[in-house]
Amino acid sequence: MRSVFHEELSLLSDQLVELSRLSAAALRRATQALMEADLSLAEQVISEDDAIDAIRRDLDNRAVDALARQQPVATDLRQLVTTLRMSSDLERAGDLAAHVAKMARLRYPEQVLPEALRPTFAEMAEVAEEMVLRAGEIVRDLDANGAVELQRRDDTMDRLHKDVFRVLLDEQFAGNNQLIIDATLLSRYYERYADHAVSVAIRVVFLVTGNWHDEEEWDQHEHQVGYPPRAEA
């Protein structure tokens, strides 16, 4: 029975990795649709979000069923409970990719982003996709130290998020109110997408150690593993 149970836990981990892969692919295609005003690609991303939702539902049902049948304790219990939270984070990341695609669809055939912001959003998309894929690897490998790495990458995303507002608030920026609102929402989508990746990694730390870490503890851990001090924003 225990061997069957641990096979179930392994399957749940595989499904989390698959969710990270699908959410990353969705964001990549959504960004392409946004940058190229590609309506058919935007529609594809939106329709394929149902597949991400279906995997999340199946994963959650399996986890709840295992909780009911096995009555796990200690690490096994932590894994099941944490899995439910991580599946939610990854599914929400997929939703945010769909939101980007919906923005491209809403403004079609117009370009949503002005030239001044396109490089920043291209970098945001690259960072966000890398982060959620790395989150999947952290889940697969139970890599508690990987959370520190994602916190670092999230600092980059926060900087890019601020860069968007610097452009929008510049007196020489000539965009209208609609453009400003659209760019603000899109920047928030990418920033929140990255936050979900970090959240997954932090839950792995809880799974491995049984402890939550606040910001001060993360800074101390970074010092212990030899990272340089964080740059001030």
Judged against a pLDDT cut of 70, whether residue 51 lies above it is answered with yes
Q: Is 232 within a domain?
A: no
Mean pLDDT of 23-44: 98
Q: Is 72 within a domain?
A: yes
Phi-psi region of 226 (alpha: psi -120 to 50; beta: other; left: phi over 0): left
Query: How confident is the model at residue 121, as a pLDDT?
Result: 98
- Structural domain that includes position 99: 2-224
Q: Is 69 within a domain?
A: yes
Mean pLDDT of 39-53: 97
Report how many domains make up the chain. 1
Q: Is 230 within a domain?
A: no
Name which of 4-8, 22-26, 34-38 the model is least confident about: 4-8
Judged against a pLDDT cut of 70, whether residue 225 lies above it is answered with no
Q: DSSP H helical segments within the chain, as ranges?
A: 2-36, 39-70, 74-107, 118-141, 146-169, 177-209, 215-224
Q: Are 189 and 104 within 8 A, CB to CB?
A: no
Q: What pTM did the predictor assign?
A: 0.89
Question: Residue 172: which pLDDT band, with cuts at 50, 70 and 90?
Answer: confident
Give CA angle at 161 (118, 230), nearest 5°: 125
Look at the block and give the residue holding tokens 């990719």: 97
Mean pLDDT of 163-180: 90
Q: Are 46 and 29 within 8 A, CB to CB?
A: no
CA distance 199 to 122: 23
3-state secondary structure of 50: helix
Q: Are 193 and 97 within 8 A, CB to CB?
A: yes
Query: How many percent of the chain have pLDDT more than 90?
Result: 72
Query: How confident is the model at residue 231, as a pLDDT?
Result: 37
Q: Is 233 within a domain?
A: no
Give CA angle at 76 (153, 216), nearest 5°: 35
Query: How confident is the model at residue 220, as a pLDDT?
Result: 52
CATH assignment of the domain containing 207: 1.20.58.220
Q: Is 64 within a domain?
A: yes
Name which of 80-84, 98-102, 115-119, 213-217 the model is least confident about: 213-217
User: What mean pLDDT is reported for the chain?
Assistant: 89
Q: Is 100 within a domain?
A: yes
Mean pLDDT of 208-220: 62
Mean pLDDT of 56-78: 89
Q: Is 229 within a domain?
A: no
Question: Residue 136: which pLDDT band, with cuts at 50, 70 and 90?
Answer: very high
Q: Are 25 and 17 within 8 A, CB to CB?
A: no
Say which residue, 69 or 48, is predicted with more confidence: 48
CA distance 172 to 161: 19
DSSP string across 168-184: HH-TT----HHHHHHHH
Mean pLDDT of 64-81: 86
Judged against a pLDDT cut of 90, whether residue 21 lies above it is answered with yes
